[in-house]
Every structure is written in structure tokens, then in C-alpha cells.
């Protein structure tokens, strides 16, 4: 059985096909990874890091190839895909450089006794990755896992198999044979991988439903997991917000990059009532400047299609439902005149005004190119509304007063709160990222992202039991 992937920008074009891995193929991949892992873990940390830095160089030599593959299979515009490929290489280099500082044995040998704290790899990591940012979301699992001494088996989304496969091939060159494996397929392949008894750690990024299934399988096998799930991110514009061109363009792209198909994109825009009309005008003007819906491979396109026909139907349904309930819908940006929108899954970006708080377009993660705008009257009110719901991935506060913005941001139930920006322009390699509430557990990025892939193991000799020491009673608690 094979997966055939179409280009969502030109659905009559097949990007390629890959073979589906059945349970036997998954088993073989995990066994190959396990056989390679022990020697890799015993390899000197500095040498592991150097081999991975060589992978960084190979990725940079093939950025354009990776970018075009990603653009064609996902609909991500080429400029963004190029940036993603470059950032994936940066992440690999970051973790290669951080390994020695974080993973060297710690401990003490003094009047307290002797203790060694070792950071041991789990073994085989199963990484199940999504289609919307396939290169970077794969690398955020692959890089720290490899630096830490693990082997990795990756199951990419069937909607984005090709860029990930090529990325893994480039990184694996020069590494022990079998250390990095890839298995393709849908839910059955993912289930076979996550439930495999040879898997020691599971890392997943994706939606809520798939996350619950993955977490359930891992839990039944007592396999620890890292989950980064969805978000319904609020952006809060306080009454003193600066609505200049640069800020508004940042806000527009934080919402509509990758056609809004980003877990940490702005999904709800709350504006102080005194600035509502002004903010809507400024947002629409910025969108007209920076949003150009078109073929991802065309120069100047900043928004492409959504990933599938089902996604287009779902997003358009949310907008139509809001309109039918009395909301007004404003189209945003311009359309590339050289793109035939009928060939792909194109959805015009929109701003939705006047939707009710309980409407689906507000209460649910849209994961597409539409944004509801809602007015608020007080900070207490907007904090309560922003914190409503089960998700808590990202949020942002926009204000001319940074201290005030921080005060409000601290009250938002989000794993990552941005100030005067949102989405990728607010990220930092050293800042841990992940969700609270039902948006997952564990962290990526930062030192925390590396420590997710090791287990602290201790060897301890208390000083009280050294020769000539006083000792402790056999039933004593430590002092």
C-alpha cells in the first residue's frame, strides 16, 4: 500500500508517493534503531555533537531542495519553507552546542559524601510529527534526542512525508547505521509505533484528538511522552496599544502565516472597545500590504492554500456559520493574479466581527485563515474571557507600557505569553515552549527541550557511612 500526496496548491499535480509501513515494518525499524542506540549512547558526547554539526552543514547545502519539497507538499509559501529549513538547521546546531554543558555528569565529593548524577538517554524515541511545520517540528524532537544519546524513529504526517524524509536522510549521513529511521503511514502506523514495546519515549505534536489517542497508547505501555497539542491563542490589545504599521503587520502575519495553520497563531483577537474601530482599520490596512494569496512557488505570495479539501470546507463552514448568526465578514489581502485559485484549496483570509463568545469560530481552534475580533471593556473581563476553554498554548498582550503588558500576560493561562508580538517572531531558541491545560505537557526549545530526552540517574555514597563516620540507625531518615 502506498500514500499518494497531491500538491494542495495544484491538486492535479502529484508530488510523490511513499510506501505505508505496516506493523512488521514498524517492528523492523524499531529493532534497527535499538541495535544502533547503545553504541551511540557510549560515544563520547563531544564526538556525537561534532557528527551532528556536520549534519547542520549538509542541511544548509540543501536548503532550497528541502524548501521546495515542503512548499509543494504542504502549500506553505516558498519563502516560509526556506526559512523553516534554515531554522531546522539552526536548531540542530543549537542542541549540538548545548549538549556538553547540560549532559556532563554532575554531583559532588565532599563532607556530604559522594554523589554522581548521570544523564542517561531513554533509548529509542518515537517521534510522531505533523504536516504544518514538518521540518522544524521534526527537528525539535530529533536534535535533542540524538544529542542526548537516543535513537529516533520518525512517523511523519502522510500530508508531508517528503521533506521530512529528506531531512532525516541528510542528518543520518555519517551517523551509525539504523540510528535514525522513518516509517510512513496514517493512524495505524502511528499506533504500531507508539505501542511498540521497544519504544522508550514518545514525542508528538498535533491536534487534540490524535493527542488523546497517542497519550492513551503510550500510557497503556507505560511509555513516557512529550505532547505539544493545539491552541486557541488569544491576543489582547489594551487601550494604550500602539497601532503602527510595523506592529500591525506583525499581528497580521502572526495570524495568517501558513494560512493560519499554526498551533501558536493568533486565533482570537480581543480589542479594548475604545480602540476597536481604529484597530480593525489598522489591521485591514496591514493585511492589504502584506497578505498576498497565491501559489506557494510564486514570488511575492505570503499565503497559500490550506492543506486539504476537508480543511477548506471546515474553515469556510465556521465563517458561514458566524455570518448566518449575524457576524460581519471582511475579506483581507489581495490575490495573486497569476494564480488559478480553482486549482487548489485556497481560502481567502477573513476578519470576523461581532461573533458571539460561545460561537464555534471563537470557542474552537479554527486552524485556518480566519480571525474573530471581539471587544472588551476591562482587564478583568478580558483575562476571564481569554482564559476560557480547555486550551492554553500561547497568548499575547499588546501595550505601549511593557510593564503593564507583563502584568496582564502573567494572568493568562498559557504556556508561552508574548508581549507586543505573537507566533514565531516572539520565539527564542533558549525559551522553553509548550502548553498548559489540555494543550499538552513537556517542553520543546531551550535547555528544557534537551532535558526531556534524558533521565537523571544517581550513584550516592552518604558521608555518614564512610570509614570512621558516625553512621545512621538502620531505620533512620536522611538528615
Catalytic residue IDs: 141, 228, 263, 444
- Beta bridge partners, 110, equal 113
Which of 266, 304, 24, 311 has the alpha carbon at shortest distance from 157? 311
For the chain, the residue count is 479
* Torsion on CA atoms 433, 437, 442, 443, rounded to nearest 10: 0
Task: Give the residue from 239, 245, 282 showing the smallest Cα distance to 398.
Answer: 239
Long-range pairs, 378-386, Cβ under 8 A, ≥24: 379/238, 379/408, 382/236, 382/270, 383/408, 383/411, 383/412, 385/234, 385/270, 385/357, 386/234, 386/236, 386/268, 386/270, 386/412, 386/413
Nearest to 123 by CA among 31, 219, 215, 222: 31
Amino acid at each position: 500500500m502506498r500514500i499518494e500526496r497531491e500538491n494542495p496548491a495544484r491538486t492535479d499535480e502529484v508530488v510523490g508517493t511513499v510506501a505505508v509501513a505496516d506493523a512488521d515494518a514498524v517492528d523492523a525499524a524499531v529493532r534497527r534503531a535499538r541495535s544502533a542506540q547503545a553504541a551511540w549512547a557510549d560515544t563520547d558526547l563531544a564526538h556525537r555533537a561534532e557528527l551532528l554539526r556536520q549534519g547542520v552543514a549538509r542541511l544548509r547545502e540543501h536548503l532550497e531542495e528541502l524548501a521546495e519539497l515542503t512548499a509543494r507538499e504542504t502549500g506553505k509559501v516558498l519563502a516560509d519553507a526556506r526559512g523553516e529549513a534554515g531554522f531546522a538547521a539552526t536548531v540542530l546546531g543549537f542542541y549540538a552546542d548545548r549538549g556538553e554543558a547540560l549532559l556532563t555528569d554532575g554531583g559532588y565529593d565532599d563532607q556530604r559524601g559522594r554523589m554522581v548524577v548521570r544523564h542517561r538517554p531513554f533509548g529509542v524515541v518515537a517521534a510522531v510529527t505533523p504536516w504544518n511545520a514538518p521540518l522544524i517540528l521534526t527537528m525539535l524532537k530529533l536534535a535533542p534526542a540524538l544529542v542526548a544519546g537516543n535513537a529516533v524513529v520518525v512517523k511523519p504526517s502522510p500530508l508531508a512525508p517528503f521533506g521530512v524524509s529528506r531531512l532525516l536522510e541528510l542528518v543520518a549521513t555519517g551517523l551509525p547505521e539504523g540510528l535514525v529511521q522513518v516509517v510512513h503511514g496514517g493512524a495505524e502506523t502511528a499506533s504500531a509505533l507508539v505501542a511498540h514495546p521497544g519504544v522508550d519515549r514518545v514525542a508528538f505534536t498535533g491536534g487534540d484528538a490524535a493527542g488523546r489517542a497517542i497519550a492513551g497508547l503510550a500510557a497503556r505501555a507505560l511509555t513516557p511522552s512529550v505532547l505539544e497539542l493545539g491552541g486557541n491563542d488569544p491576543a489582547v490589545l489594551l487601550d494604550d496599544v500602539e497601532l503602527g504599521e510595523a506592529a500591525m503587520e506583525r499581528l497580521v502575519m502572526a495570524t495568517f502565516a501558513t494560512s493560519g495553520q499554526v498551533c501558536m497563531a493568533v486565533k482570537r483577537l480581543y480589542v479594548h472597545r475604545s480602540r476597536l474601530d481604529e484597530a480593525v482599520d489598522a489591521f485591514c490596512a496591514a493585511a492589504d500590504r502584506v497578505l498576498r494569496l497565491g501559489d506557494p512557488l510564486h514570488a511575492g505570495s505570503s499565503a497559500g492554500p490550506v492543506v486539504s479539501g476537508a480543511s477548506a470546507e471546515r474553515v469556510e463552514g465556521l465563517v458561514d456559520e458566524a455570518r448566518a448568526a449575524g457576524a460581519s465578514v471582511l475579506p483581507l489581502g489581495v490575490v495573486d493574479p497569476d494564480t488559478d485559485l480553482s486549482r487548489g484549496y485556497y481560502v481567502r483570509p477573513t476578519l470576523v466581527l461581532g461573533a458571539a463568545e460561545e460561537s464555534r469560530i471563537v470557542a474552537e481552534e479554527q486552524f485556518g485563515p480566519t480571525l474573530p475580533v471581539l471587544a472588551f471593556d476591562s482587564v478583568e473581563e478580558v483575562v476571564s474571557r481569554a482564559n476560557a476553554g480547555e486550551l492554553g498554548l500561547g497568548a499575547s498582550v499588546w501595550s505601549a507600557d511593557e510593564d503593564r503588558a507583563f502584568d496582564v500576560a502573567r494572568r493568562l493561562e498559557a504556556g508561552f505569553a508574548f508581549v507586543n508580538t505573537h507566533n514565531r517572531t516572539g520565539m527564542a531558541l533558549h525559551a522553553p515552549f509548550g502548553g498548559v491545560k489540555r494543550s499538552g505537557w513537556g517542553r520543546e526549545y531551550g535547555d528544557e527541550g534537551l532535558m526531556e530526552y534524558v533521565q537523571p540517574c544517581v550513584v550516592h555514597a552518604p558521608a555518614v557511612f564512610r570509614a570512621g563516620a558516625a553512621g545512621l540507625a538502620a531505620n533512620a531518615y536522611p538528615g
